[in-house]
Structure 1
């Protein structure tokens, strides 16, 4: 081997070693951030939700207080910049010169936390994704050798963050690929696999339990036609969610005085939460509640409650985001899917005596609505299986996620991530 070849080989080895080291750091920091945000949010959301259930006056106080604090933090601490969600990540990966500034880490962490614990009807997932993507973006700027790996390092942060939230390394890597990168390179594989391995290792050390402790025993072939129906309904519901988010953001964008947005958003949020407490925050408390009562008979009151929740959830989520809250459509999609699946199963069992398994429909519905909302079926499959730590329903979830995605795309080709006003002009 001549001297030039040896130098080149040594240089490649140094690059590889540095990529491994920075991927380990990104994986640890992103996972630590994701786990911390999840734990803090769960802790305070439970306390605040208990308070509003005991003292309903807080339904009025919490939303306006939370949105006001977020507004003042943005004005005086976070450079007067609005958070654009995952679109910020897309803008960064699409541009060589545009990076995610480091203040995005505390900005999304704090604002996502405040939005949810004070009743904002969204989740911390998008806040986590942008904050962890920023960790990758900041790392790529630190050394010239990382300049060519910008997208890969951003994706490593995102993958580790998603792994931390949903206890699924496969979902983390697939989300980074399906939604952010859309391409696979050797550096992508190395950095993302290392990052999610570190994240999953941290979860294991901390003995993190699955978010939903449910018992899934089997599924029956006779349920396939009803799974198909669920997939179609999930696709339609996801389009309703997407259109609501885009519509209300557009309408609220026409209001010049930001505090008018806060007052209007808080009023709608407070009224909705008063009549439907299930809409408070991420809504995971409500999903756990209906998992425990999935086998109950459907009454007219219960059916109307479910329908009201399915109609209101996209509206309340959209207004939370449009009036200044920080979040996205991850948690709302899971929430809508669970209630949609249970409503369909209950109708089939109560009126058609089909005897389907309600819990199965809830799990499949969660994955189906998420798949259709973000156009990422494989992410949705592994993410929901990770949430329950059970792969019994893998094949029906796969089929229904594909049906829901393509149903949604046929009705409306955009997601809240991919839509841009310039696309429809």
Structure 2
């Protein structure tokens, strides 16, 4: 072997070893951060929502407090820079000079926690994704050997964060591929798989439980046309969510004074919470309540009005939360809307068409369909929802419906809230 070939071989070996070590470290740090954020958010959201349920005045106070504290943190601690969510990751991916600075980790961690705990109608998923991406980006900046692998290490962080948050390693890898990288290289496979393996091992040690404790018995082939209908409805609703976020963010961006943004946003959020407390925070508490026994729910007039109110108001209040300074994205809102859309669809089919479908199945499939259509990532949605309920009985219908919902959404509107740019639409 020539000297040049030997040097090249040693260089590849050293790079492989260093990438392996840093990927494992990224996996551990992202998993630790993700689990910490999830548990803290669940803890304080439960406490504050309980307080507000006992005294409606807190529904008026909490959103104002949360948005105000976030504003002061951004102004005096985080360099007066707005959080752009996943778009920040795209900017870092597409530019050699653009980095995700280290302050993005605590910024998204605390802002995401404060937004959801104090009633902002979004979720911590995007906060987790951006903070995890920042961990990967910072690791890449520490070693010249990693200069060419910024995207791979960012994706490793994201995959680990998603894995820890949803207890689904496949969803973590697929999200990094479908939404962020969009290509697979040897380095991507190495770094992502190692980071995810460490992250998943970490949550196994902690004995993290699935978010939703449900028992899916079976599904029937005759329900497949109804599932396809749900996929189309989810695609249409996802476009409503996407356009609501884009439109309301644009309107709030025209408001120059931050105090006016915060007050306006707080008033809208508080009013909505007084009407429909189910919209508080991530909304998972409301989904868990209905998951306990959806078969016993009867389609009454008041229940129908409540469901329609949730489907109409959730995209608006989510958009207002984000536009007025809250930190988050459309992951949790999409799954929340999908669950109630699926339930309402099943009840309508059973009540008026004697379809004899299973409401629980429609709720689970609806969650996946809405998420798939909202982020244009059907395979991520498939494994993520199966991981959330820790059950793969509905694997095939979820796969089919996710593809239908994404296709429907793209035919109506080709952008998501993450891919839309103001200059892309004339």
TM > 0.5 fold call: yes
1:340 aligns with 2:313: no
Show the 5 A alignment for 1:75-154: 75-154=75-154
Structure 2 distance, partners of 1:383, 1:227, is: 19
> Where does structure 1 differ by over 4 angstroms across 4 or more consecutive aligned residues?
none
The residue aligned with 1:223 is: 223
Structure 1 distance, partners of 2:197, 2:341, is: 34
| 1:270-326 per-position Cα deviation (integer Å, ceiling 9, x unaligned) | 010011010000000011011113112111111110000000000000000000000
The residue aligned with 1:308 is: 309
Cα distance, 1:6 vs structure 2: 1.4
The residue aligned with 2:288 is: 288
Gaps of 5+ in 1: none
Cα distance, 1:140 vs structure 2: 0.4
The residue aligned with 1:328 is: 329
The residue aligned with 1:412 is: 413
The residue aligned with 2:372 is: 371
Structure 2 distance, partners of 1:316, 1:293, is: 27
Structure 2 distance, partners of 1:274, 1:424, is: 36
The residue aligned with 1:279 is: 279
Secondary structure in structure 2 of the residue aligned to 1:418: coil
Structure 1 distance, partners of 2:292, 2:7, is: 63
The residue aligned with 1:353 is: 354
| 1:8-39 per-position Cα deviation (integer Å, ceiling 9, x unaligned) | 11111000000000000000000110000000
The residue aligned with 1:255 is: 255
The residue aligned with 1:196 is: 196
Structure 1 distance, partners of 2:76, 2:272, is: 30
Cα distance, 1:203 vs structure 2: 0.6
Structure 2 distance, partners of 1:360, 1:405, is: 19
Normalised to the residue count of structure 2, the TM-score between the two structures is 0.99
Cα distance, 1:2 vs structure 2: 2.1
Structure 2 distance, partners of 1:322, 1:332, is: 15
The residue aligned with 2:36 is: 36
The residue aligned with 1:384 is: 385
Structure 1 distance, partners of 2:60, 2:298, is: 33
The residue aligned with 1:20 is: 20
Normalised to the residue count of structure 1, the TM-score between the two structures is 0.99
Which shifted more, 352-361 or 2-11?
A: 2-11
Cα distance, 1:193 vs structure 2: 0.2
Structure 1 distance, partners of 2:405, 2:7, is: 53
1:397 aligns with 2:398: yes
Structure 2 distance, partners of 1:131, 1:2, is: 45
CA RMSD of aligned residues (A): 0.6
Structure 2 distance, partners of 1:31, 1:419, is: 29
Structure 2 distance, partners of 1:340, 1:292, is: 17
Structure 1 distance, partners of 2:348, 2:405, is: 20
Gaps of 5+ in 2: none
Cα distance, 1:353 vs structure 2: 1.5
The residue aligned with 2:205 is: 205
Structure 2 distance, partners of 1:398, 1:241, is: 22
| 1:142-182 per-position Cα deviation (integer Å, ceiling 9, x unaligned) | 01100011000000000000001100000000000000001
